[in-house]
Structure 1
């Protein structure tokens, strides 16, 4: 049986976006893989970044990838590398890329595990109720990203950006939570999350 992915097709209407599932056939998957080749330089083969400054996209929620690409394209999120990359993407491109990366398997990262930071991060996660949105194991859901197994440097930067309000393209949840965290909390959380696979 061929490997067929479900893809969400959205059509803009006066009332907003109407979305319906369609099938992503092998030809569409191959086309999405071709579109994703430009992403390899930063995000690695099949979305498994080898650079701790860039997120792992493999296994990420397709919807989260789609929303972030749309936010980069429309200026709600800014990054010197990603904003220009997203500028010329069509809605179909963003959906296809989201589905392609969601279908990939995340590879474990290599980093120096600090057991004390991991345990302190676990306690901070429980105290701030992170799993309420990111779910147990930080696997994410829908527009809430999978952050399990991301590089600690990347997680730390995103949390610091939310805390300093350099990143505000969330619904306010992350800026609110990050604002309550100390720099040590953020360091510990980044180690805890990175250690989850």
Structure 2
């Protein structure tokens, strides 16, 4: 007759094996989702780059962005909370799964560094302004973002300028009011300095 200890050991082994199968299945599903996201993202590469690193100053890099932020922006374009002549129609026919897969694929791509183009004085002024406005309370240290809060480190400066100006002018309002409020305190020079500083981070 099998003793209690050997039965317990066998049960633990079976549980461990089941856990490995579940983990393997989850990894396979995740890989499949990334492949689906990559396939769907081919419509995005003309503006955002083949690997999510934009080669055009006016278009944001999506590589290394938080997946949840990307998903929410696609959803907002689809549902009209954010408007753009190119992005709104692009998002219109995406399903929820499409948006999640695209977001995860871009989030999985590494953001490539670019050399800072601003003067040291401008970078210092930008950092001082982000300290003054407590930007890291939401965007975290290093401006790497979290959940629904975007990564700003290494982003295209022209795009950052455009978005800060849009928040300030209230032509972009899908932020629950947080960025709209912050942007009201920034002068045009502040916006320029902040964008230069954020784009220089790695």
TM-score between the two structures when normalised by the length of structure 2: 0.84
> Of Structure 1 and Structure 2, which has the larger fraction of its residues in helix?
2
Superposed, 1:22-171 pairs within 5 Å as: 23=27, 24-110=29-115, 112-171=117-176
- The range that moved more, 104-113 or 36-45, is 104-113
How many residues matched?
A: 177
Contact 1:62/1:102 (CA < 8 Å) preserved in 2? yes
Aligned-pair Cα RMSD in Å: 1.4
Alignment gaps of 5+ in structure 2: 1-22
Q: Which runs of 4+ in 1 moved over 6 A?
A: none
Helix, strand or coil: the match of 1:47? coil
Q: Deviations over 1:102-122 (max 9, x none)?
A: 111001134522211110000
How far 1:196 sits from its partner (Å)? 0.4
Q: Deviations over 1:6-46 (max 9, x none)?
A: 9xxxxxxxxxxxxxxx6544333222111111110000011
TM-score normalized by the length of structure 1:
0.86
Indicate yes or no: 2:191 matched with 1:178. Answer: no
Helix, strand or coil at the partner of 2:150: coil
Larger radius of gyration: 2
Structure 1, unpaired ranges of 5+: 1-5, 7-21
Q: Partners of 2:167 and 2:147 in 1: how far apart?
A: 20
Pick the structure with more strand per residue: 1
In 2: Cα distance, 1:158 partner to 1:45 partner: 23
